[in-house]
């Protein structure tokens, strides 16, 4: 075997494990490092890494402003919509009432 031989190692359950880890992070609120503030003043804790991986807006924001635990005002966003979006990002699915579907897909009301 020469030095240039390479082996591809694959984690068979990688996607399942990552999905479970995201869900666990969302439910347990461990390692939260960002607070989202909704228009009603309610707050939701989240993880910068998850938000940045899912949104170019958040990625730019976190790269530009390197605060340890930023608090971001989600102007015009209702608490229930922010929670639904986070559920979607962490779990890959969210339950949305029909009357809230446009807000979920297109943005703030």
| CA–CA gap between residue 14 and residue 57 (Å, rounded) | 27
Predicted structure pTM score: 0.82
pLDDT along the chain (109 residues), means of 10: 79 92 90 95 96 95 95 93 92 89 76
Of residues 70, 9, 82, 68, the one with CA closest to residue 40: 82
**pLDDT number for residue 100:** 83
**DSSP letter string, 3-24:** TT-------TTHHHHHHHHHHH
> Which DSSP state fits 2?
-
């Amino acid at each position: 075997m020469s030095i240039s031989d390479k082996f591809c190692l694959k984690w068979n359950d990688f996607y399942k494990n990552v999905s479970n880890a995201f869900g666990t992070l969302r439910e347990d609120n461990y390692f939260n490092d960002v607070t989202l503030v909704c228009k009603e003043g309610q707050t939701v804790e989240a993880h910068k890494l998850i938000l940045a991986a899912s949104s170019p807006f958040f990625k730019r924001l976190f790269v530009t402003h390197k605060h340890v635990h930023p608090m971001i005002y989600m102007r015009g966003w209702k608490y229930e919509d922010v929670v639904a979006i986070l559920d979607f990002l962490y779990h890959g699915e969210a339950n949305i009432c029909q009357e809230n579907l446009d807000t979920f897909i297109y943005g703030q009301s």
